[in-house]
Structure 1
Amino acid sequence: MTEPLFLKPYFNPKIWGGRKLKTEYGFDIPDGKIGEAWIISGHPHGPATIENGPLKGKTLREAWHEDPAYFGPQHSQEFPLLVKILDAEASLSVQVHPDDAYAAAHEAKGELGKTECWYILQADPGSYLIYGHHAKTREQLKDMIEAGDWEHLLRKYPVKTGDFVYVPSGTIHALNKGIVALETQQSSDTTYRLYDYDRTDDQGHKRELHIKQSLDVTTVPFQDPKLDITKQQVPGGQITTFVKPPLSPHFAVYRLDVDGTMPFTQQAPYTNVTVLEGEGTFTADGQDYPIKTGDSFLIPNQIKAWQFTGKLAIVTSTPGADA
């Protein structure tokens, strides 16, 4: 019998982080400003650790390389997705990510580009993102950056709890203060900072900016992705489809609102699961596993059918065909 792989996150301190990962989701986080919980991660900079079953104690990255049967037919060199919860106590830097081709040419071997998306878990009243820009040409983009004309360059995008935002590589963006988000992304730790509000760390140092790379990879002009978010009533609740291939080639992301028992059959090589709210049970191969707010686990390839029971809000993701 194959069990789901329950995961212990890797916690990442950030200058903009806070303490909500502990107070809201029950994580045992280190002291200080903790900005990110890498809850489903095979990235070498912060792999999650398997907490149960025969793979207990291995990182997800180790399991990907050493126990391939858990993930089905593998196409990628590394585990392709990374799921985080971000606590923006202060605003993140204004940044942009490369696509796969630029990352392969300019970053460490094996590093992917980064297309990502956010499901907004909490947003203070009046919250907004930086999402996109107003430059019409690359020359105008360069001129506005060099002039520091951030007010006219950067596009403000209001958000509220429950919103979903898709951020393709090449999109200038930033989470701003007062937002907690679940992020599903390609497994990449490459970020090009364009602007960081001239702030300094505890030693009085400004963080590094990456103006040339940002100019290289930013999509000009910016266009909003055309999403097709759908809701479907199913036995045991509702499934919201946020994004999936072909619009999003790297991943599909869903929200499950479970009220009763919601059955599933396998549709992907494996499925990533994060419980946002509630308590209940995950059942597979006749075995029940209690689940609660803050739990993350991977349903491996050997599990062909399963069900969720209880009153639960869950976000799941599956890899795209390129992964």
Structure 2
Amino acid sequence: MYKEPVFLKPVFQERIWGGEKLQKLFDYDIPSETTGEAWVISAHENGPSIVMNGELKGMSLLEVWRNYPGLFGSETTGSDFPLLVKILDANDQLSVQVHPDDAYAKEKAQMPYGKTECWYILDCEEGAEIIIGHQAKSREEFQELVSKGEWQKLFQRIKVKKGDFVYVPSGTLHSIGKGIVILETQQSSDITYRLYDYDRVDQEGKKRELHLEEAMAVMTCPHQQVMQENLKEQLNNLQSTRLVEGEYFTVYHWMLGGKVEVPVTTAFLLVSVISGSGQIVTEESVSTVKKGDNFIVPATIGNYFIDGELEMIVSHT
């Protein structure tokens, strides 16, 4: 079964800070001019992707995960699908937020996973910034700055450019800045605790809910900067850069310039094509791939090679 990639249809999420770049950059059929997120590889109940090819066409990835564990190299998949891949269009500043770790998520939110995530910057305006971490030395100092609304003193901002990579462990205060498009690889969790939202209101004139108590409980204080060392390898026509290797996921940037035979593994891979086009050739199929495509390479695929001029973000657990 499935000696070919499993292509997935994105699920779109409208957001107060969303825009139209998902259509402009990837030719996605977005629902509105405030489309903030494309959940491109998702088995989350809030937006599962739909299989677009093969025997399981029309099924959700959630159904496939539960009913066809062999595709993922396992006899059973009793737990939830571990990862979620998104593309976000921050047409405006996102809220300043923090996510819990697994222990807090299970105990307080009755959810299977907390949320550690990472961002690959696909596109951004000149001078664009993110918030990553804070400058308080203690929780008492943090609370004092929050109570006074001294946000500029509290938040730690850094400028970003296209091609940058940012690792955001659970407990890290963060926000994606205006004018940035990212590919996000994360644990399959939808838990967000907002600390600050710029006093914005929605179409009904209401401010979005804040979660000050929860945010204070789960944030890391003082902030701890986690550095990841890139590991570059040249495999014939494939330049592979390992962006992060962590407890929950390993993420690579692949730059392909011709034909490459991919080593067979027992794992399944999550792949997003961020530029170019090419083909994936297996013993039984030839699949055309292009910018904006997202698919899973199942553990059952067997020997295969990729050919073309392609840039991809690849991840696995």
Matches within 5 A, 1:127-146: 127-146=128-147
CA separation of 1:309 and 1:113: change in aligned 2, threshold 3 A = same
Shift of 1:50: 0.3
How many residues are paired up?
Answer: 315
Shift of 1:76: 5.6
Contact preservation (8 Å) 2:66, 2:77 = no
- 1:313 is matched with which residue? 311
- 1:193 is matched with which residue? 194
* Equivalent residue for 2:260, pick from 259, 262, 281: 262
Shift of 1:267: 3.5
C-alpha deviations, 1:175-210, integer Å up to 9, x for none?
010100000000000000000000100110000000
Equivalent residue of 1:243, what SS? strand
- 2:241 is matched with which residue? 240
Shift of 1:143: 1.4
Between 298-307 and 133-142, the greater mean CA deviation after superposition: 298-307
Matches within 5 A, 1:99-114: 99-110=101-112, 112-114=113-115
Q: Distance in 2 between matches of 1:259 and 1:102?
A: 44
C-alpha deviations, 1:143-192, integer Å up to 9, x for none?
11122110100000110000000000000000010100000000000000
Shift of 1:266: 3.0
CA separation of 1:286 and 1:304: change in aligned 2, threshold 3 A = same
Residues 1:115 and 2:116 are matched in the alignment: yes
Between 301-310 and 67-76, the greater mean CA deviation after superposition: 67-76
Contact preservation (8 Å) 1:48, 1:59 = yes
The residue type paired with residue 86 of structure 2 is K
- 2:224 is matched with which residue? 223
Between 298-307 and 181-190, the greater mean CA deviation after superposition: 298-307
Q: Distance in 2 between matches of 1:268 and 1:179?
A: 35
Q: Distance in 1 between matches of 2:173 and 2:111?
A: 24
Q: Distance in 2 between matches of 1:266 and 1:189?
A: 32
Equivalent residue of 1:24, what SS? helix
Q: Distance in 1 between matches of 2:306 and 2:315?
A: 15
Contact preservation (8 Å) 2:273, 2:290 = yes
Two-structure CA RMSD over aligned residues (Å): 1.2
- 1:126 is matched with which residue? 127
Q: Distance in 1 between matches of 2:107 and 2:266?
A: 30
Shift of 1:138: 1.3
Shift of 1:286: 4.2
The residue type paired with residue 49 of structure 1 is I
Residues 1:50 and 2:37 are matched in the alignment: no
Q: Distance in 2 between matches of 1:108 and 1:32?
A: 34
Equivalent residue of 2:277, what SS? strand
Contact preservation (8 Å) 1:268, 1:318 = no
Q: Distance in 2 between matches of 1:243 and 1:306?
A: 25
- 1:93 is matched with which residue? 95
Q: Distance in 1 between matches of 2:264 and 2:61?
A: 20
- 2:85 is matched with which residue? 83
Contact preservation (8 Å) 1:235, 1:263 = no
State TM-score, norm by structure 2: 0.97
Shift of 1:304: 3.2
Q: Distance in 2 between matches of 1:207 and 1:140?
A: 25
Matches within 5 A, 1:272-311: 272-311=270-309
Contact preservation (8 Å) 1:265, 1:304 = no
Shift of 1:282: 1.0
Listed as ranges, the gaps of 5+ residues in structure 2 are none
Shift of 1:269: 1.9
CA separation of 1:222 and 1:240: change in aligned 2, threshold 3 A = same
Q: Distance in 2 between matches of 1:47 and 1:79?
A: 11
C-alpha deviations, 1:258-290, integer Å up to 9, x for none?
000122123452000110001100112242100
C-alpha deviations, 1:69-112, integer Å up to 9, x for none?
111125661110000000000010000000000000111343x1
CA separation of 1:75 and 1:142: change in aligned 2, threshold 3 A = farther
Q: Distance in 1 between matches of 2:84 and 2:215?
A: 22
CA separation of 1:226 and 1:76: change in aligned 2, threshold 3 A = farther
Q: Distance in 1 between matches of 2:154 and 2:107?
A: 28
The residue type paired with residue 312 of structure 2 is I
Residues 1:26 and 2:36 are matched in the alignment: no
* 4+ aligned runs moved over 4 Å, structure 1: none
